[in-house]
Amino acid sequence: MTVGVYRSRNPTLSSTEKNQVSIPSISNGIDSNEKKEIIDEHSQHEEDGIFQNGIFIRHRGLNWFVTGLFVVGELAGGGLVAIPTAMVQLGIYVGLPLALVMNVIFMITGFMLGVAWNVLLRRWPQYRSHCRKPYPEIAYRALGPVCRLIVTIFCRLIVTICIDVTQFGIAVVYLLLSAKNIHDALKSFVDTNFSFCYVILILAACLTPVLFLKSPQDFWWAVVFAMFTTSAAVILILTGALMDNSECHKEINFPKFKLTNIFLGMGTLLFAYGGHSAFPTIQHDMKMPHQFTRSSTLAFIILFIMYTPVGIIGYYTYGDSLHDSVINSIQTQGIQQAINLLITVHCILTLTIVFSPLNQDMEEIFKVPQKFGPRRVIVRTGMMVAVVFAAESVPTFGPLLDLMGGSTLTLTSVVFPALFYIFLTAGEKKAEHMAQIRGYSTEEDEEPPTFKEMLKYSDKKVVLLVALIIVFGVCG
């Protein structure tokens, strides 16, 4: 048996055979619309590509470089404008090394999550067609079914809740940041007292129709463009801060060390680098999903190059005068408003990918068909209404950003990827080993390894690395 390849016991039926199987199973008592929906649902299990030599290649999808830019576009934005504040809270001599450590850890966990999804593609052919909830499925295959009912209800539910809460919180942060930037621009150029609450409502109304697109591969151009707007914003932030340095540095102060500031700063850094709950959704839409490890590595290198100079120069120029965002500290109005515009465009475009896992999860719950229709419009509009309600209830995005960074985002970006990776890779090795001994595969091969088996089939250095990452995540 070829290493890394798991051969399914159930051969894939052709499209013709599937139709022959599905049509007789439809009762005469079902109307034509319901028949069509059942056939559509059945056809969703057709593979979207070819599988050979242990690698799945989709018929169409994103290439690895565009996917890397896609990930940068999804992560940068809110974190970028808050990085200097995190440096002030932590102190440059703690904040800079900690930012480097976090970048490396999040790069590793992104790599692990990419490997985990590829294990599912190799071992379970049903994931080669459209999957609305790839991250919870990774959780299910990694840890269940020790007891199928408990795992189905508990493991996948907990992971799904964490992902949904994380994406919901990020959506609220980005909506607030976008609305704040637009509101600041209005006050700068027009003498008006236009309500901030109205800006949130108008922005949400304009954005909602874009959310009706099916999945990331339908709007990849938007998030890649968001990455370039962020790059331009970095250049302008550095330019504005350097221009202000000669004057602002004279009045600079740094806060005294406080333990609470350490935790707040860590929360901001975690938010800046964490966004893994959307990674499997992005990877699922790649032409060659096995290349996602390249994409995530490229993305975190670009993020570190973006974040580091902004954090250092913002720290030494503005000190403790920084609050939620570095933008308001920049003194040159033209540069400040240009940055406002670029970050706003970034956040608006990124909201399309932030909403994607959340919307698809809700559609799975409400049994919404894959094809566009009124039920998709209702569910996705309802989700936007919920995000708007939360945004209207929170005055600023800073505390929410720290809260998200220190709670569910840590689980979905640090703890879960490492945990699922070690169990899935060990399970694959166990299945291959048992199949080689028997000469064939059985149902038992699909069961995840026990803790003892995980240790047996895993490299001890990898186990130690995973343990350290999980401890870091729990402490963070």
- Give all domains of the chain, ordered by start, each with its CATH number: 59-475 (1.10.4160)
Tokens of 176: 């607030």
Strand stretches in 190-324, DSSP E: none
| Alpha carbon distance 198, 351 (integer Å) | 19
Query: Once rounded to an integer, what is the mean pLDDT over residues 31-60?
Result: 61
The length of the chain in residues reads 476
DSSP single-letter state for residue 208: G
Higher-pLDDT residue of 20 and 348 is 348
Percent of the chain, pLDDT > 90?
21
Higher-pLDDT residue of 243 and 215 is 243
- AA letter at 417: P
Residue 215: band (very low, low, confident or very high) from pLDDT cuts 50, 70, 90: low
pLDDT tens, position by position, 352-363: 777 877 888 888
Q: What pLDDT, on the 0 to 100 scale, is given for residue 214?
A: 63
Tokens of 134: 């790839």
Query: Once rounded to an integer, what is the mean pLDDT over residues 163-172?
Result: 81
> Which region among 202-206, 274-278, 429-433 has the lowest average model confidence (pLDDT)?
274-278
Residue 370 in contact with residue 43, Cβ under 8 Å?
no
> Three-state SS for 45?
coil
* Number of Cβ atoms within 10 Å of the Cβ of 462: 15
Residue 395: band (very low, low, confident or very high) from pLDDT cuts 50, 70, 90: low
CA 415 to chain centre: 14
